[in-house]
Structure formats: C-alpha cells, structure tokens
Structure 1
Amino acid sequence: SPRGYHSIPSVAMTTPAPLVAVAQVTSTPDKERNFAACAGLVREAAGRGARLVPAGGELGWGLIPESRGWGVAGGDPDVPVPRECGVWLSLGGFHERGQDWATTRRIYNCHAVLDPAGCMVATYRKTHLCDVELEGRVTMKESGFTTPGAAIAAPVGTPAGKLGLCVCYDLRFPEISLALRRAGAEILTYPSAFTVPTGSAHWEV
C-alpha cells in the first residue's frame, strides 16, 4: 500500500443472535390479574427486542383463554398477545381438559408453543407426573388429577433455534432430554412451578 496508508482487514459481518427473554409468574385464582401480569411481561420482553419468550410458573393460565371443551385437538384458541407483540411464546404448564373431562375432571399438564400469528404450532403433554411426600414439608400427588401424556413432541423450529418441550418434573428424567437432543433440539425448555423443598433438589436457592 502507499506510504502512510494501511490496508484494513476484511471483517465478516454476522447477524446478531435472536434475543430470548425468560418470564416467570405465580398464578392466582384471579384470571384477570394473571392475564395482566402475563401480558405485561411479554410486552416488556418484546419492547426490549426479544423474539422468543419462554414462560414458566403456569403462565399459560393467563395467556391461553379458557374455552369450553377446547383441547389440543380442538383447534387454535384466540391468543392476541403474540400477534400484538410479534413474538414466539413457549408457555407451560397450563391445564388442558382431558378427553374424559366430563366424567373424571382430569387434565393434562400441557406445554404449548405459539408463533407470532398466535397459532399453536406445537404441544407437549407432561409424561412424568410428580408424586412426592416429604414428611413434614410437602405432599404432592399430581397423578390424582392429571393424565400423563403418551408421547414426546418433535422439536419445533423458532428464530432462536429448535425447542425441545418438557415440563417441570420431566427434568428428573434424562432420557427425555437425550431423545429430544437426538431429534435435533437445540434448546431444552422446562417451564416449572417447583415448591421450595422440591426445587432445591434442582436449583441453587
């Protein structure tokens, strides 16, 4: 190069990775309050540039409306928040009425993925139910009101990568995560609502 000038090395331009925001709420019996909290978190995440919002703590209670007889096989619910915000949502677990709801009142613990159009593109029904009794601390018998799912859901493509869908207590069973990884999952999602005693077995608290 001419004296006094230096060549500038070429730099490959890379596209920034899509931003992912994680939301967590504690649901209450007040559905309107739940919806306001859930929608507010998603709007805040979208305002910060998030493309995907995985949400736990039974966030689905607020964002997926109750519908008589609605189930995974019953068509898409009307979910306006992802359309409004232009984000993907990974929601769980919400209580989906079982096929025999009318006679048994049993539900599925369901994890759902919605695209920015508000369409449900993937669902997974929790396969491992949490029945635990820690004397003097906590008693839980999920199998008393929940029907286990029968299959693992195929990973679903999102702007952030392929999501593998699990729920809460599934974390204790490595086979499901290994199967999802072999199927191409790049991100494993476990929306959870652990109690303090059971949660301390998984997380630093």
Structure 2
Amino acid sequence: MATAALLKKPVKLALVQLASGSDKTRNLTHARELVHTAAAGGANIVVLPECFNSPYGCDHFPTYAETLLPSPPSATQSPSFHALAAMAAETKTYLIGGSIPELDPSTKKYYNTSLTFSPAGKLVATHRKVHLFDIDIPGKIRFQESEILSPGNKISIVDLPEYGKIAVAICYDIRFPELAMVAARKGCFALVYPGAFNLTTGPLHWKLQGQARALDNQVYVALCSPARDMDAGYHAWGHSLVCDPMARVMVEAGEGEEVVYAELKNEGIEEARTGIPIYEQRRFDVYPDVSQGECRFEDAV
C-alpha cells in the first residue's frame, strides 16, 4: 500500500481529559473552555472523552440522552450538538466530540454516539458505539451497557480534506481489531477512540490496546479518557494517550484534568511500513482480508 498520501501534512492533535458532573450546562461550558485551551495550544484536531456531557453509567443514559435525528436537531433537542458545532467553529478545529447519550425518536432506542464537526462547525460524521460494554469480572466490576443501549452497525471513517482520513470509534470498540484493520486498510492515518476504561480494566489493557492497534495497523492511535473523579459513580482510568505507528507512546496524561498534544506526521507511518513491511507481506492467499468483505460504513454527512 502506498503511504505517501495517508497524512498529507503534519497535524497537531489534542486530547482533552476532563471530568464531567451532573450539570449538563456546566459540562458543556467546561468542555468549551478546554477546547479553546487546546486550540490556543496549536491543535488542529481536538478530541473530547466518552460521555463528556454527562456522568457515565446506565442509570444516567436515559436522563441525559438527546435527540439527534432528523439532523440537524434543534437546540432544545440537542444542546450538546449545538455546543460542539459552536466550539469547532470558534476554534476553527476539527472537533471529535467524545460521545453523548442519544435517543432515536423513531425507534425509542438509546445509543452511545460520537459527533465530529469541521472547522466551519458542520457535522461531518456520526458514530454509534458498535460494541457495547458488557463485562462481568467477579469481585471487580460488572457493567452491562446493553441493559439500556443499542449497538451501532457501521464503521465510521471521516475525511478531513486537508489531512486525510481518520476512523472514529468508542471505548470498547478498541477491543475488536477487525474494526481497526478495516479502517486502516481503507487508508486512515489515525484511529481515534474516546473511551472510559475503569480502574480494573484501565491498568490492565488501556495502554496495551492502544499500542496493539497501532502495532497491528502501523497508524497513529489516540485514546481520550475522562479525568478520574473518585466522587463520581464510575471511576475512569484517565491516562489519555497517543501511540505512533511503531506503537511508541508519544504522550500520556495523568489521572486528573489535562490537555495533551501530539504532532502527527506521515514520516511516522513511512518509518513503520518501510522498516517492517507487513502491508506487502500479508498472506491473503492463506487468510481473508477483512477489509474486502461486506463492511458497513457511515455515510458522509
């Protein structure tokens, strides 16, 4: 695979690790402040965490859910949609709006949904979390998103015309390498995952999953977590990070609120793919190429 055009020019990416409380209006205002901080730091792409506008938890999803369809929703139907659009336009950045709980009025189903906006404040992609966080580790944690949420059914590849393509997925989606493989083989230079790993899975697998997806696919991988709040009902791991295409951790946040930055360059992809040429060495005569199957993609907005 030719890689020269995957990332057309260097881009500075910022991960906004923030804590969200029960007041949605305050959460949106706080997010706006930190998105402006990220832009002032030179970011071209800004990423917010999973459920940035509300507490994370099955008990909270219905209370904080917003209606996004038909698009665009009114400000009453989705204050978060309009807040994100304004943040992107004000800062002239691509804004990956973490995720918010969504209610589809036509089906009455709830989703965990990520919205991406252009520097003009226009919606360019919507990703509904494909893999729901249903786990049960005895004595540690039990969490069943499927008790409230429904899964999305599309891979979300987003074209950023000045830079190239990225893929957006949410948290538990990162544990399924097929989704990442498809996105990378379709020409993405980065995989972006707003997520909220907890204090059990975080120390075990958060960084490992980011490095694994980068190693598998020789692309940049960004994970954006909420900040840790031990007074909240759900304790996020934090440690938002960016891995390069050689699986090196370029930057990693701590536990608290923080904005971290990484400069992404096509040379990083070239280094990985020239030195370790797995794109030329795959044996599709022995095993199938998952990117050539009947994959479902998010339609362009």
TM over 0.5: yes
Q: Deviations over 1:151-205 (max 9, x none)?
A: 1123322544411011000111000000111111110011001111122232357
Give the match's secondary structure for 2:31: helix
Q: Is the 8 Å Cα contact of residues 130 and 154 (structure 2) preserved in structure 1?
A: yes
Residue of structure 1 aligned with 2:100, choices 85, 90, 94: 94
Q: CA deviation at 1:144?
A: 0.6
Partner of 2:187: 184
| Aligned ranges 1:46-85 → 2 under 5 Å | 46-59=39-52, 70-75=67-72, 77-78=81-82, 79-85=85-91
Structure ID, larger Rg: 1
Residue identity opposite 2:112 in structure 1: N
Residue of structure 1 aligned with 2:139, choices 112, 117, 136: 136
Partner of 1:19: 12
Q: Per the alignment, do residues 115 and 180 of structure 1 end up closer, same or farther by CA in structure 2, a change over 3 Å counting?
A: same
Partner of 1:36: 29
Q: Deviations over 1:111-156 (max 9, x none)?
A: 2110112111011111111111122221100001111011112332
Q: Relative contact order (C-alpha < 8 Å, sep 6+): which is higher?
A: 2
Q: Per the alignment, do residues 198 and 80 of structure 1 end up closer, same or farther by CA in structure 2, a change over 3 Å counting?
A: same
Q: CA deviation at 1:49?
A: 1.4
Q: Per the alignment, do residues 25 and 191 of structure 1 end up closer, same or farther by CA in structure 2, a change over 3 Å counting?
A: same
Residue identity opposite 1:17 in structure 2: P
CA distance in 2, matches of 1:110, 1:68: 10
Cα RMSD between the aligned structures? 2.6
* Runs of 4 or more consecutive aligned structure 1 residues displaced over 3 Å after TM superposition: 66-69, 158-161
Q: Deviations over 1:4-63 (max 9, x none)?
A: xxxxxxxxxxx972221111222211112212221111000111111110121422559x
Q: Deviations over 1:46-85 (max 9, x none)?
A: 11111110121422559xxx99973254226433111111
More displaced stretch, 75-84 vs 178-187: 75-84
What residue ranges of structure 1 are gaps of 5+ in the alignment?
1-14
Q: Is the 8 Å Cα contact of residues 21 and 52 (structure 1) preserved in structure 2?
A: yes
Size of the aligned set, in residue pairs, is 184
Q: Per the alignment, do residues 72 and 183 of structure 1 end up closer, same or farther by CA in structure 2, a change over 3 Å counting?
A: farther
Q: Is the 8 Å Cα contact of residues 21 and 27 (structure 2) preserved in structure 1?
A: yes
What residue ranges of structure 2 are gaps of 5+ in the alignment?
1-7, 56-62, 74-80, 208-238, 240-301
Q: Under a length normalisation based on structure 1, what TM-score does the superposition of the two structures give?
A: 0.80
- Of all paired residues, the percent bearing the same amino acid is 31
Q: Deviations over 1:74-123 (max 9, x none)?
A: 2264331111111110122211112322xxxx311112110112111011
CA distance in 1, matches of 2:156, 2:69: 13
